[in-house]
Structures are given as C-alpha cells and as structure tokens.
Amino acid sequence: MKITRARLSHPADIGTILYQLVMTGIIVFHWNAVPSPVLLLMYHLAIVSFVLILPNLGNLPFIRWIRDWNPLLIIPTSFAELHYLVHNVNPVDLDGLLINLDYSIFGVHPTVWLERFTFPLLTEYFQWIYTTFYFLPLIMGYILYKKDDLSHFHLFVFLMVYGFYASYIGYFLVPAIGPRFTLTDLQSFPLEGVLFFETIQHALNTLENVQRDAFPSGHTEVTLLIMMYARQHAPKYFLVLNFIGTSLIISTVYLRYHYVIDVIAGVILAIAVWYSAPYLYRRIAGAKSLKFNSF
C-alpha cells in the first residue's frame, strides 16, 4: 500500500499530520517532564496513521464523510492534550508580563475596570455566548458541506486547522492562565449569573481543565476567521455572526478568561493566518484557482 501526498484526502490532512509530528517532537525532547509520554506518543502516532490510511479505505459515503470532517474532529482532543504538555514543557507562566502590558496600554486592569458594567443578566448572556464558540466552526462547516461544490468547505477546514494549531503553538511560547486566576485579589466581587452561569462555567472548567491558553486568544482568532470566511461564502450566517462574534470577543475579557493583550494578539494572528492560508493551501493542493478574497 503506497501512500503519497497526492493520496491524502485534503490539504487539511497535511496540517493535521504536521501538528502531530511537532507535538511528537516536543514529547520526545521533553520526555522526562511530560506525564505518560508513551501514551501521548502513541496517541499522536495513531492520529498520523489514521489520517494516512483513510484515503485507502474505499469510497463509501460514511468513509467520505470521515475523510472530509476528520481534521475538525481531531482538534478538540489536541486541545485537551495541552493540559498535560504546556506547563510541563514551559513551566514559567507569563501572566505577569501580560498584566503589565494591559496596564501600560490602558492604565487600568481591564477586567477590574469592567466591573462597573457587570450585572447578573449580562454575565449570563456572555457565558452562553462564550459557549457558542465550540459550535461556530461546525455550523459553518455544515452550511458549506450542504453545497454541491465542496471546494470551499475543504478550504474552510484547512483554515480552521491552521488557525487552531497556530494558537496552540502560541500557548507553548507564552503560557498564561488568565485573569480569572491571577487578578482575583483585585476584583471586588465574583461573577454571578441568573440561571445556568455557574453550571456552564463548571462544565467548561471540567472539560478544559486548567489550561495555559490565554495568549493568544484562540476564541478571538478563530471567531474572526469564521466571520471573514462567512462574509464571502455564507452571507446569511455572517449576519448572525456579526452579533454573536462581536459579543463572543467581548465576553473573553468580561468573563475574565483573557487579558485585552490576548485579544489583540488573537486579532493579529487571525490576520496573519487569513493572508498566508491561501498561499499554503495552493502549495499543498496545487489549486491555483482557489483563493480568498481580501477583507
């Protein structure tokens, strides 16, 4: 069974494999610092093997669906793994640097300053909006997948793989846990919702564990990428995202998950990914006719 780059299902598979290989290298290089390195190594090798074998499993509808969607479905497990890697690989949290940057830019601690606008109903709203982030890429993918021409779907999946994994690399470079942990002594009161705020927050904390995922803000970066792509290829969804996406980005600071400098970094990373993705996609797929429009 001969597997070549041309036999891989889509360009997003290349991004998936490259990320798994980078993580494999990190695990090997930090073998004694990483918990259960053998299991983590086996996980990454299994993902690589799975992606390489997929194009050779036939053309049944279910297999085609897996080939199309697997890059997006692998992302959550890659994120969950960061809990065991980032702090062990780079144990020095840089929250102090980010706090100082925020204060030097704004003259206040933004999460503390926002207390004057905080009230339970708004907190409840923002927590629900923050949670929609986990569904926005899937909804966008579904909208594109229903169309007869799947070229824009594959382009979108590549954009998501590139965007998510780029932010994950950022967590290794600038590990930080965020203001909800570091600035509690400066906050006058804890956030309170109306009905399900605490339930949702607890569920997210349980699912994500304690991550060093503040910088850059992946919520900001990926949300902007989805909004920009929807503007071109799903105008009706873009109208909805205008409201949800803007609220979601605000919620990252309001809910004390991120410093404002994290959001700024997320915006910069989104722009960098947006403009470099077409070149990388064409290099991998040889699809010269496919391109993103400008903003």
pLDDT at 235 over 90: yes
Which residue type does 202 have? H
Examine the pLDDT at 288 and tell me if it is beyond 60: no
Angle at 63 (CA atoms; ends 237, 57), nearest 5 degrees: 145
Cβ-proximal residues to 114 (8 Å cutoff; 6+ apart), any chain:
253, 254
pLDDT exceeds 90 at position 55? no
CA 1 to chain centroid = 34
* Helix ranges (DSSP H) in the chain: 11-29, 37-53, 61-89, 95-106, 110-113, 120-131, 136-145, 151-173, 179-182, 197-208, 218-233, 235-254, 260-285
Mapped onto helix, strand or coil, the DSSP state of residue 222 is helix
Query: What is the band of 198 on the pLDDT scale with cuts at 50, 70, 90?
Result: confident
pLDDT (0 to 100) of residue 291: 53
Residue 2 — pLDDT band, cuts 50, 70, 90? very low
Mean of the pLDDT values across residues 106-114? 97
Helix (H) or strand (E) run with residue 186 in it: none
What is the pLDDT, as a whole number, of residue 207? 72
Q: Average pLDDT of 18-43?
A: 96
At 4, the pLDDT band (50, 70, 90 cuts) reads very low
Flag whether pLDDT at 210 surpasses 80: no
* Section 196-218 average pLDDT: 85
Residue 210 phi, psi (nearest 5): -90, 105
Residues 6+ apart with CB under 8 A from 203: none
For position 205, what pLDDT does the model report? Answer: 76
Domain limits, the chain: 5-285
Question: What does the pLDDT read at residue 3?
Answer: 38
DSSP string, 108-147: S-HHHHGGGG--HHHHHHHHHHHHGGGTHHHHHHHHHHTS
